[in-house]
Chain A
Amino acid sequence: MSARDSILSRIRDGLRGVEAPPLPAPDPVPGGPGELAAFRALAESVGVEFHDTLASALGDARSVAVSDAPEVAAAVDRLAAADGGAGGRSFFDGWSDRAALLEADAGITTAQYGVAETGTLLLIGDDERHRLVSLLPPLHVALLRRDRILPTLGAALAALRREDPAAMSRVTTFVTGPSRTADIELQLVLGVHGPRALRVVLTDPPAAANP
């Protein structure tokens, strides 16, 4: 008998005659958008900084990795135009140059959604190449559209779900604040493996941005 069959048959033997208690009905998912102010307050409570402009979010970062999102490219172009150059910064495709990404000062991505309940950013891997750009550099700058706030974690899960599992994003990351540890006497230290700082720039939906 294969391991699979012997495992299943032993579980079935164990469960013979067992009546399963009912599975609770799913909690209704709240409709409508989440509150931006709540999102911001929760995110700030775990150390996320909000910046009005990309330039201020980048601070003195020099070598900057970008994801492949068109919004990121557009924001970088606007920044370069406004500065009359990139302000001494160099930008490169973080997702195609890992060696450079390991040395970068910052990474810029978008987040597909924010979650008001927890101050969480949703990075949906099939929509953007942001997995490593948001993880390897010590600073992660995320552009988030103001109209993309979901109310709860339940709403976030509902937004990810597809009837056909093959249609689900192969990886989705929920990000709530910078990388942290408390493994040494429970003292909080940021940036243990991932970014030490997470900065969010809120952006307007395209219609409002290009009237």
Chain B
Amino acid sequence: MIHGLKAREFDRLSREALGDDIQRGAIGKATDLIRGRRGAAVARLPEWEELRERARAVKAHTLARLDHYLLQFVERAEAAGVVVHWASDATDATEIITGLVAEAGERPIVKAKSMVTEEIGLNHALEARGLRPVETDLGEWIQQLAGEPPSHIIVPAIHKTQAQIARLFAEQLGSAEDASAEELTAIARRILRQEFADAAIGISGVNFAVAETGSFLLLENEGNIRLTTSLPRLHLAVMGIEKLVPRLSDLEVFLRLLPRSGTGQHLTSYQSIFTGPAPGRGAAPRRGRGGGPGGAPPPARRHRRRALVGDELRRSSLQCIRCGACLNVCPVYRQIGGHAYGWVYPGPIGAVLTPQLAGIHEAKALPLASSLGGACEEGCPVKIALPEVLRDLGREAGEAQGEAPGGEGFGCGRWAWFMRTPRRYRWALRLARLGFPLGKRLGPFRRWAEQRELPRPAARSFRDQWKERSR
């Protein structure tokens, strides 16, 4: 069972999301900003396309020899003193981790943002055992306070306005209703500092793992990953098997691509590279002492990653470095936000990963609800052919639906969904007028349009004209 999976309810969730004007406004504004920053950062790097090709090639090679590099990584990491646990699925992973951290008791378990721990439903599993995971990335902490999952890979609370966050803090923490971003951040710092000081265990993800040295790298801006991995005595890193690169030098291309793609920075504030348990450099020496498990990345290969390995096109989904760029350019994500996708990964990469990791039956609507305009592929720093994978999954979804692949029935059903209320109809038409040929841009309409020339919307819609005439 996959915790929190709601992708089957995509229709209802996206319908609800479309009705949330505040969320749409917040996401539109934020994604515009990030896109602008990313564009500027990329323009300053003339070799951008070469870097993308190199990154793609490194990942494609590594994934095609995944067994080799995985073993090499584990051997070298163990030689450096890391304790490695293998988890064959999400349940396995959460059980191993809850076993390792059970000693925390009442003490906080500080967590640095990690998509893979979202995937395996780690917080839920820890809470079910009476343990207390505390998210420490500001955006994730806001989401935890709100009792919601993150809605963007890089900016977890992207859908919330400052005013909403101030109200949330006021309700939960008793701060001022009109606190500024600066004040809200200071409140978070103060509260989380205490959690860090008390924490028994720190849990992080892994951005990149280096096979030749057994090292792994984490990137961030806030410093919460540095705190999570240095203050508690035990550092637990949860890693997906696809995070590998062969050589330490391969990190360079990803360090140049990921921050620019994610936030438009030339580099995030901090990168930490770990090779074995850290020495007792802090005031209270931690890992590697007292006989407890050392710094331990359990390669938690959960769900169906292994099934993805065989097919070349599908395998390319595993190249993803979780930069969020494809979300920021996706017209569908912009309208419906992250939660409507019904699981951990939203946007084009969510539409690609969820059906593959959770099973097509769990997420039939996702591949069809994505832009196929190609902006996501153009922006992807590791050149995943997102539209092509989506088309492939769309065919599979069509078959799973018990009809001819991509048959008219499905497309029309989706079209009807957009026609159901005047507001959505207006939205669809507005998109069409803005130069989004519906049949090409929006997955749901594509099949339908291929078979029936979609009526080209007039410069002013019939609806508008009708409104005028009936005056």
Interface residues of A (CB under 8 A from B): 2-4, 6-8, 10-15, 18-24, 26-27, 29, 42, 46, 94-99, 101-102, 118, 120, 125-126, 129-132, 135, 152-154, 157-158, 160-162, 165-166, 168-187, 189, 191-195
Bound-complex Cα distance A3 to B193 (A): 37
Contact B64 A18 (CB under 8 A): yes
The number of chain B residues with a CB under 8 A from chain A is 98
Minimum C-beta distance from A77 to chain B (A): 23
Minimum C-beta distance from A98 to chain B (A): 3
Bound-complex Cα distance A157 to B212 (A): 13
Q: Is B156 located at the chain interface by the 8 A CB criterion?
A: yes
Minimum C-beta distance from B2 to chain A (A): 19
Chain A interface mostly: loop
Residues of chain A with a CB closer than 8 A to B66's CB? 11, 15
Q: Is B401 located at the chain interface by the 8 A CB criterion?
A: no
Q: Which 10 A-B pairs have the closest CB atoms?
A: A194-B223, A98-B283, A14-B309, A183-B139, A14-B310, A20-B64, A193-B223, A179-B223, A3-B86, A174-B271
Minimum C-beta distance from B202 to chain A (A): 13
Stretch from B184-192, B402-410, B458-466 that touches the partner: B184-192
* CB neighbors of A among B128-168 (8 A): 136-139, 142, 155-157, 161-162, 165
Q: A165-B215, A169-B275, A170-B277 are in contact. Are A26 and B249 (CB under 8 A)?
A: yes
**Cβ-closest chain A residue relative to B166:** A184
Q: Is B26 located at the chain interface by the 8 A CB criterion?
A: yes
Minimum C-beta distance from B114 to chain A (A): 16
Minimum C-beta distance from A117 to chain B (A): 8
Residues of chain A with a CB closer than 8 A to B181's CB? 184-185, 187, 189
Residues of chain A with a CB closer than 8 A to B197's CB? 102
Minimum C-beta distance from B184 to chain A (A): 6
Q: Is B391 located at the chain interface by the 8 A CB criterion?
A: no
Minimum C-beta distance from B400 to chain A (A): 21
Minimum C-beta distance from B174 to chain A (A): 18
Q: Could you give, for residues 86-105 of chain B, a 1 whenever the CB lies within 8 Å of some chain A CB and a 0 otherwise?
A: 11100010000000000000
Residues of chain A with a CB closer than 8 A to B57's CB? 21-24
Interface residues of B (CB under 8 A from A): 26, 29-30, 33-34, 54, 57-58, 60-62, 64-67, 70-71, 76-77, 79-81, 86-88, 92, 136-139, 142, 155-157, 161-162, 165, 181-182, 184-185, 188-189, 192-193, 197, 212-215, 221-224, 226-227, 229-231, 241, 246-253, 255-256, 263, 265-279, 281-284, 299, 301, 306-310, 312
Residues of chain A with a CB closer than 8 A to B301's CB? 7
**Cβ-closest chain A residue relative to B276:** A170
Residues of chain A with a CB closer than 8 A to B138's CB? 181, 183-184, 192
Bound-complex Cα distance A99 to B189 (A): 17
Minimum C-beta distance from B324 to chain A (A): 13
Contact A27 B249 (CB under 8 A): yes
Contact A129 B76 (CB under 8 A): no
A-B contact pairs, 18 of them (CB 8 A): A4-B86, A7-B306, A8-B70, A11-B306, A24-B57, A46-B265, A132-B231, A154-B249, A165-B79, A165-B214, A169-B275, A173-B272, A174-B267, A175-B269, A180-B269, A181-B185, A181-B221, A191-B189
Contact A3 B64 (CB under 8 A): no
Contact B162 A23 (CB under 8 A): no
Q: A179-B222, A179-B269 are in contact. Are A15 and B67 (CB under 8 A)?
A: yes
Contact B266 A118 (CB under 8 A): yes
Residues of chain B with a CB closer than 8 A to A3's CB? 86-88, 92
Inter-chain pairs besides A20-B61, A171-B229, 16 sampled, C-beta below 8 Å: A7-B306, A11-B309, A14-B307, A15-B309, A19-B64, A23-B246, A94-B283, A98-B283, A102-B197, A131-B281, A165-B212, A168-B276, A184-B181, A189-B182, A193-B189, A194-B227
